[in-house]
Structure 1
Amino acid sequence: MENLTKSLEFLTKSGFIKGLVEKNTIKNIKFLPLGTTLLDNIRNEWHKNKEELNSYPAIGIDEDFKRDSNKFSFIRSHTLRESLLHVKNHFQNDLPLIIKTENLFSAPRVVNDDETIQIDIPRETVLATNYFFTPSVALEKFYHIQRERKICWMKYSSNPSRYYLSDLVTEEVGGHKLQSLKIKSKLDSGDMEVEEIHFVPIAAMGLENESDFAMKDSRLLRDVLPTCIRSEFKLETTACALLLDSIESSRENTLAINRKIVPYQCGIFCYVEDNIMPSDMTDLSTHISNVIRKLGISALNLQKCHTNNPITLNTELCQMDRIGVPYCIILESETLRTGLMKLRSRDTTLSETIHITDVSNYLQKIFNS
């Protein structure tokens, strides 16, 4: 619990989250400005369709999502049913396909009797990817999705080995197997749930008007009741897991947040030894920040990072490390004459020299890889 308390204090000073730690539970949690931006970035990454299947958004956000003790009850969601009918009527009535749903639900009060880290928050956001497959291929796809989702979270971490799959839980219903498991992160302070994956044959659920879910199996040339494989994560809990991961995976006073979801991706510095900062230097910093932002890369160009004091330069670079900025561009006196500047890495604290004409292509390669 001591490590968790120290981590939370650091995240509060850095402007991400604040709360109280009690028995491996973060209570009274509040997301600060950088934490809110992190939530938005995680949601945006989830919205991007990186699947091989057609993916459709749900009809609206279910703001009164009912979540009972049955982990498979999501299949009874009115929003999911209506969204599937919409897809059938306007896009495709054959399998496979994906429907992405966003749900808000009131989380129950946390009672934490084990070593699992949890957050106590009144209302959480569930982001779910619902895959619909023909029953004959669904089990194979279930195992494939498990691997892919674990790899996805590993890519966001500086320590991929901390992610693992929990034991598979199986229930028998009407001759069908309903299965579920979790992806967890093994942190120094305890394990933390990142995602759940469910395997639900719709034929097992005894739904009213279950024919609404029937879709064409192109191999059998007839309608079948599909199997739904649901990959879901609680946005706020997962964000906390990634933040704690980024603390434990980096050096002291640094957040090693993945470059795709970090609130700010690049910082711009001007450092000259003269007492007066040349106006051409500040104009150049503005130009470079604008070029970077047009690439879709979030940049900070702060007046306090324009300095002639090496101590101030180092202090502000450390502050960038504290909020997780992965790269900083440093413009120096010679930059105006030669076009050469430094690109500093948060993770190594080392700098490499690049030319101003290479900035766009170089950063695009970094952030798109």
Structure 2
Amino acid sequence: MRACLHLFKFLSLSRSFTPKMFGFSKQIRSCSSAPTDRSDQLRSFLELCMDRHYVSPGETNSDLFQRGLSCSYGPLGTELRRNLLEQWWHSVTRGRDIGSAQEQRGAHPGDTTAAPKVPNCENKSTDGCLAAVRPVVGAGEQKASLRPGGDGSVLPVFSCFCSAEITQTSLVWFCSPRTSSQWLDHWTRQRLKWWKKFALSPSDFSSIEVPKQELEDAASRGVRILYNFPWGSEALETLWSRGNAELLREHKGARSKLQCRDGQKSVPHVVSISGNMDRGVMAFLSNSLQQLKREEGRQKLQQRKVLKLHPVLAPVKVALNIGRGPAVELRQVCGGLLQEFLEAKIFTWPGYLETVPTSAEQQSAKYDEMGVLFSVVISENTLENGLVQVRSRDTTIRETMHISELRNFLSRYISAAENI
């Protein structure tokens, strides 16, 4: 029997959710239970997220963020979550893992569907906005009629409910009854590999079997993908081997409706994956934060915080600043570069528009904490010979480059990081 694939992405921000509904039973807990000796570390981390525009200030936002729930994100947090969702969608619809998995299991290779763009719900009413191909299971009282296509094709279903609580991604995979356990193991390896791909410290991500007493109804096995936060492990994704009971119940036992198109008479089994992307955002922020100590002069230690987010996830790729020279002309050059980068979809921070004067060291410290990959200084040298100074977040090395090379340099760097 060929593997049958049904795939949907579900972004749900529901007021009336329960942890069990999303596969995170006994995992969502307030960080107020964190050990006392780690409270300062947690407080410092949350302050950094608010100061550097990842989370909007306020105790309510801080509490929601700690619990892995949707909060009011700042501009960088919004962009980070968008990048994470795009990478997730790419990995389960167009990634090499899907094609190789289908070929290995005998499914029809080569059938793919282009991923729709993530709807921007940040500015929509909290009463709810819906952009869906069809209703999906788990969206409040809504249900979907799940029926496998049987041809190995990717069938994306895309919904967004904006009313404030959780951002969830979901994958449903239909397969032969005799291979369901193998598929659960396969997807566990692939999902863990995906989370570790973007991590600065991959060992903080792990997987664990769900104890039998915690299995959901109709599930024969379950696996959780965990991240080891300073206060303890939390689930990022939960995978279930659900058998065929839900399909039969949904279609009132009409087996003829559930048979795949390849002629097999057995009812497919279901492997499902549910992910909490709000907790994923927090996991990558926590995982990427480094506190480095550097000795300067005699017995003088300087602490440097760096948010070393993966280049693909980092919200800000480059920051533009001005050095010595005629301010008006330098700002004009920066404005031209900003437009050029935006056209190339390179998210840019317009540091040249800031009115509070800061030193080069203060600027670098700020951009390191924001996770900015590169900072560029436009100066009188740029006006004279087209040269700019480029500083790397990860190496702190400053190098000189011609202004005409910047766009290609950044594009190549980001593209290379995507392919690793």
Output the TM-score relative to the length of structure 2: 0.66
- Verify: 1:78 aligned to 2:143, yes or no: yes
Letter in 2 for 1:320: Y
Residue aligning to 1:37? 79
Give the % identical residues.
Answer: 17
Q: Does 1:214 align with 2:271?
A: no
Q: Give the partner amino acid of 1:264.
A: V
The answer to whether the 8 A contact 1:14-1:323 is kept is: yes
Equivalent residue, structure 1, for 2:4: none
Between the aligned partners of 1:29 and 1:204, the Cα distance in structure 2 is 29
- In proportion to residue count, which structure has more strand? 1
The one-letter amino acid of 1:161's match is S
Equivalent residue, structure 2, for 1:236: 278
Residues 1:259 and 2:311 are matched in the alignment: yes
The superposition leaves residues 201-257 of structure 1 with CA deviations (integer Å, 9 ceiling, x where unpaired) of 225764141548624264xx4354222222221222222222222225877433222
Q: Is the 8 A contact 2:334 2:352 kept in 1?
A: no
Match of 1:348?
A: 395
Mapping of 1:268-347 within 5 angstroms?
268-272=320-324, 274=325, 276-277=326-327, 279=329, 281-304=330-353, 311-347=358-394
The answer (yes or no) to whether the contact 1:183–1:195 under 8 Å persists in 2 is yes
1:50 paired with 2:94, answer yes
CA distance in 2, matches of 1:244, 1:172: 28
- Within 5 A, what are the aligned runs for 1:59-208? 59-60=133-134, 65-66=139-140, 78-79=143-144, 81=145, 84-85=146-147, 92-95=149-152, 97=154, 99-100=156-157, 102=159, 123-169=165-211, 178-203=220-245, 206-208=248-250
Equivalent position amino acid for 1:323 in 2: M
Alignment partner of 1:184: what SS? strand
Question: Are the aligned partners of 1:265 and 1:327 in contact in 2 as well (CA < 8 Å)?
Answer: yes
SS in 1 for 2:307: coil
| Structure 1 residues 153 and 264: alpha-carbon distance in aligned structure 2, compared to 1, 3 A threshold | same
What is residue 70 of structure 1 aligned with on the other side? none
| Cα deviations by residue, 1:139-180 (Å, 9 ceiling, x for unpaired) | 33322221111111112221112111113545899xx97211
CA contact (8 A) 1:289 1:301 kept: yes
23, 46, 54: which one aligns with 1:16 = 54
Q: Do the aligned partners of residues 140 and 96 (structure 1) sit closer, same or farther apart at CA in structure 2, a change above 3 Å counting?
A: farther
Q: Taking structure 1 as reference, are residues 61 and 36 closer, same or farther at Cα in structure 2, changes over 3 Å only?
A: farther
The residue number in structure 2 matching 1:357 is 404
Kindly provide the CA deviation profile for residues 282-323 of structure 1, in whole angstroms up to 9, marking residues without a partner as x: 23222222222122111122334699x7x5333223222222
Aligned residues: 327
Worse-matched range after superposition: 354-363 or 292-301? 354-363
Report the counterpart of residue 110 of structure 1 in structure 2: none
Given the superposition, is the C-alpha separation of residues 105 and 171 from structure 1 closer, same or farther in structure 2, using an over 3 Å criterion? farther
Q: Provide the aligned C-alpha RMSD in A.
A: 3.7
Distance 1:149 1:128 in 2: 12
CA distance in 2, matches of 1:289, 1:351: 20
Tell me which of the two structures has the higher relative contact order, counting C-alpha pairs closer than 8 angstroms and 6 or more residues apart. Answer: 2
Instruction: Tell me if the contact between 2:308 and 2:394 (Cα under 8 Å) persists in the aligned partners.
Output: yes
Distance between the aligned counterparts of 2:155 and 2:401, measured in 1?
A: 43
Structure 2 unmatched runs, 5+: 1-33, 100-111, 117-131, 293-302
Per the alignment, residue 124 of structure 2 pairs with none
Q: How far apart, in 2, do the equivalents of 1:232 and 1:140 lie?
A: 18
- Partner Cα separation in structure 1 for residue 256 and residue 355 of structure 2: 62
Q: d(CA) in 2 for partners of 1:321 and 1:338?
A: 28
Contact 1:196 1:231 in 2 (8 A): yes
Amino acid corresponding to residue 355 of structure 1 in structure 2: H
Structure 2 residue matching 1:36: 3-state secondary structure: helix
Measure, in 2, the Cα distance between the counterparts of 1:333 and 1:131. Answer: 59
Deviations 1:317-348 (A, max 9, x none): 32222222222222232223333323222222
